[in-house]
Amino acid sequence: MLEKPLLVINGVGFALSLVLAALRRSLSFRLKLLRHSMSSSSSPSEPKKPKNIVIIGASIAGYTAARTIAQYLLPDSEYRVVVVEPRDHFHFTWVLPRFCVVEDHEHKAFIPYGGYLPAGSFEADGGKVAWIKDRVARVSKDSVSMESTGEEIPYGFLIVATGSGATDSLPSRVPATDKAQGMELLREMQKRIRESKDLVVVGGGAAGVELVTDAKSKYPEKRVVLVHSRDAVMHRFGPKLQNAAMDGMEKLGIEVITGDRVISEDKEKGIAVLKSGREIVCDCLVNCTGQRPDSRLIAQLSPASISESGHILTKPTLQIQDDSLPNVYACGDVSETNTTHPNSRSAMRQATTVAYNVISATEGNEPKETYVPHWMDGGIKLTLGLDKSVANVGDGKTEFLIPSKEKNVALMSAGAWHKLGAKPFVDNESEFLSKIRSKI
């Protein structure tokens, strides 16, 4: 009887705690900045070679960590942020299932980098951020090695935000580092789905459910089949969301097969073969199964810090669980934090925790900020066709379900661009690249 009111009270309390924590940190920084300005010498000091806070990966966790550290480092700090990211744009992955089906919106999934960082971050005089468009090939206890050049970059602190799904493909991830190639891959997927008659999708998580409902909603004449190895789709979530997903698919006429898996595809015969021996007519097979964390760099450096699932084991401060490497942190999908449903909210909270701990450590203090998972981080908005969605949040015992109508086929793309400091849908990639090249 009281479960839902108590859940609401708990959620409101958590939201207020986040606001108060942000205010506390902001006030603390302003006071620190004031003390610094009052005690700083007016005579110019000899410039020193900066020490590096290297961040590997600039998806939402790495990008947020870079923004926060750059914002709160003191003006004359000897540290700077060095971001290493191979992609030329931020990939807004939440819209990928939609843009695998709907044409002419694929460019909206690629948001220009740079705008999310504090103003002046790339300035030669006083800027706190350097950005390298490359991959990290190896990590040692005090440096990272670039893949394309072999350059060794020393670090005072290392933040690993490499995410998950590095080897995955659409509709979960875009296996491309440049926007043009990524858009072409999306158009190829659109064409495959558009020209198919019998679409089979493997995996009943969010990506699979959203892809089949979008495809059937846009092309009602197609036969669309979803195959999921578990007994229920959206099995990581509560029964209300599971039922809502099944109900949405059934209303669209999608055939759902649970408790079975696709083991092979015979393209000549035009069939997909299931583990049970059943054969399904198939001229387009799309894989939407789960992603793996990209923890290989830490696996080389500290094998004992990798969990059985491939995640990086972390302390509550999000330092990795290797006492010999207290200056190495991990956040986002790659880290093991016992977060029930990892998403951008939990990744941003983890990135903020890491950022404040690193800033504190640069000033000679022990890291004190800790990340504690909360059920509100696991909320999800699941689309069930081109014009329907359902939001779900719960603590594992009680859950809320909020159905809604979707009026914008591009979903929340414009809002994501605004959030990351970019004007929808104006791409200023050349400006960003010129800034980072001049900075380096």
Cβ burial of 372 (10 Å; 0-12, 13-18, 19+) is exposed
Question: How confident is the prediction for the chain on average, in pLDDT?
Answer: 93
H-type alpha helices, 204-270: 206-218, 239-252
Per-residue pLDDT tens digits for 75-103? 889 999 999 999 999 999 999 999 999 99
Residue 438 confidence (pLDDT): 52
Cβ atoms of residues 135 and 31 within 8 Å: no
Q: Are strands 399-405 and 388-394 parallel, antiparallel or unpaired?
A: antiparallel
Residue 276 confidence (pLDDT): 98
The kind and range of the H/E element at 405 are strand 399-405
Q: What is the pTM of this model?
A: 0.95
Cβ atoms of residues 300 and 138 within 8 Å: yes
Give pLDDT tens digits along the chain (440 positions). 678 888 889 989 999 999 998 898 888 888 888 887 787 665 555 667 889 999 999 999 999 999 999 999 998 899 999 999 999 999 999 999 999 999 999 999 999 999 999 999 998 767 899 999 999 999 999 999 999 999 999 999 999 999 987 457 999 999 999 999 999 999 999 999 999 999 999 999 999 999 999 999 999 999 999 999 999 999 999 999 999 999 999 999 999 999 999 999 999 999 999 999 999 999 999 999 878 999 999 999 999 999 999 999 999 999 999 999 999 999 999 999 999 899 999 999 999 999 999 999 999 999 999 999 999 999 999 999 999 999 999 998 999 999 999 999 999 999 999 999 999 999 987 778 777 765 55
Cis peptide before 400 (omega within 30 of 0): no
Integer Cα distance of 168 and 175 in angstroms: 7
Per DSSP, 164 falls in state: B
Please give the structure tokens belonging to residue 334.
């790659």
Residue 25 confidence (pLDDT): 86
Residue 35 confidence (pLDDT): 83
Per-residue pLDDT tens digits for 97-150? 999 999 999 999 999 999 999 999 998 767 899 999 999 999 999 999 999 999
* Amino acid symbol at 414: A
User: Is the four-CA dihedral 4, 22, 64, 292 of positive or negative sign?
Assistant: negative
Contacting residues for 239 by C-beta, under 8 A, at least 6 apart: 232, 399
Residue 43 confidence (pLDDT): 54
